[in-house]
Amino acid sequence: MIVLRPFGIIFVAPTTWSTKIMSENLETCVDPYLASFGESFAVANYKAATIKSYRSIIRKLGQVMDAEGIEPSALTLNQAERLGRMVPRKHGQTVCPHNLARRFAGHLIDIGVAQPVPLTEARIARAALLANFETYLVKQRGLSQRTIYHTLRFADRFLNHRFGETMVDPGRLRPADAIGFIEHVLAGARRDKTIATHVRIFLQYLFGRGATATNLALSVPKTAKRWGARLPRHLSPDGVEAVLASVRDNQRHGARDYAMLLLMARLGLRAAEVIAIQLDDIDWRAGELLVRGKGKLHDRLPITVEVGDALSRYLREERGPATCRTMFVTHRAPHRPFKDGQIVNAILKDALKATGQKPVTPYVGSHLLRHSLATRLVNTGASLDEVGDVLRHRSRSSTMIYARLDIDGLRSIAQPWPAAGGAQ
């Protein structure tokens, strides 16, 4: 506090704290809509403290809007994101202001305050093309929702790369366009092995509906796959147990993470299969689990006592008040299902760091535990057919990668090393 005494009169200058309080109490253009915006989070079971912090961020967005002269009725999604990036982000703050700003703009559109930006004819035509392509992927290809999402995303990026904001004309596509797009994506992507497959599916669809004169999918080169470049990534049995113990002892969400990893370490489930489990998929009396596998194939696996105890503990102690029937949900409101298996990768990476185990490669995938299970089965004398049955492989070629781990079997068929004077 600063005290000034000109002419014998004491003036107290406002402190930084009081100035901050005054600025936060100033009314902004978004204040009339904060209550309804907060209510949209309350009905989704968000905590009161979280809603309060969200309202504080939006009030700061309102200050930026006032400074820029933008009224709530004129706010668009893109404008909200741009202005949200101008809102300072506190240290340790998990929510991004620009993402929350876009959500606020969407709320204004929902309640009729703002109007969505009208689509151009080119955008409408592209949306119709992608909608028909999605129907094809669902009804004729029978792909999973995760694959459909990525295929549609790459199709949209391909059209944007070739046509930009102009009208889409598939008849003008040439092989160089597809190859150039793949090279463009791979030049900036650290790891993306499926881009050629997604583009090829889209080009096959365009040719099938007569949008292109030739099947441009034939011009897309196949991605090189070095099947014999390395052994399957795996952990030792002690390493697997250390990872499970580390996750189980986590006080915040150990029950959920432990149950997810245990399903992979004991039953060999894939990450996508774990997050797809529904509450109705478990037959507690029969001790069976319905697994929704690749290609929309369903299998039933026995639940061991260890796995059953882990699942029941999670359901009793940690699963929040979710309205969905998905088994594993987020701990933060609104307690919804995970979008993909990246949560498993994050859990594994943290557990490896906590146990002091260095990953065999910089990328730690969720198949690490699945490979570890198969490796342990091979080392304890299981045949490749038995390993394939446990992992539910549809093709024997998928199981053959573990033949390189059978050291005793490889030693029995190894040829003598040629040397001068005779084989040794």
Contacts of 200 (CB under 8 A, 6+ apart): 217, 220
Contacts 24+ apart (CB under 8 A), 30-34: 30/58, 30/59, 30/61, 30/62, 30/65, 30/72, 30/104, 31/59, 31/62, 33/72, 33/104, 33/107, 33/108, 33/111, 33/113, 34/58, 34/59
d(C-alpha 215, C-alpha 204), whole Å:
6
DSSP bridge partners of 337: 329
Sheet holding 288-292, edge to edge: 282-283, 288-292, 298-302
d(C-alpha 164, C-alpha 185), whole Å:
16
DSSP bridge partners of 329: 337
d(C-alpha 130, C-alpha 112), whole Å:
28
Which residues are marked as active site? 270, 294, 367, 370, 393, 402
From 394, 194, 148, select the one nearest 294 (Cα to Cα). 394
3-state DSSP assignment of residue 104: helix
Tally Cβ neighbours within 10 Å of residue 336.
15
Q: Say which amino acid occupies 133.
A: F
Quick one: tokens of 330? Answer: 């987020």
Contacts 24+ apart (CB under 8 A), 320-325: 320/45, 321/45, 325/278, 325/279, 325/280
What DSSP character marks residue 232? P
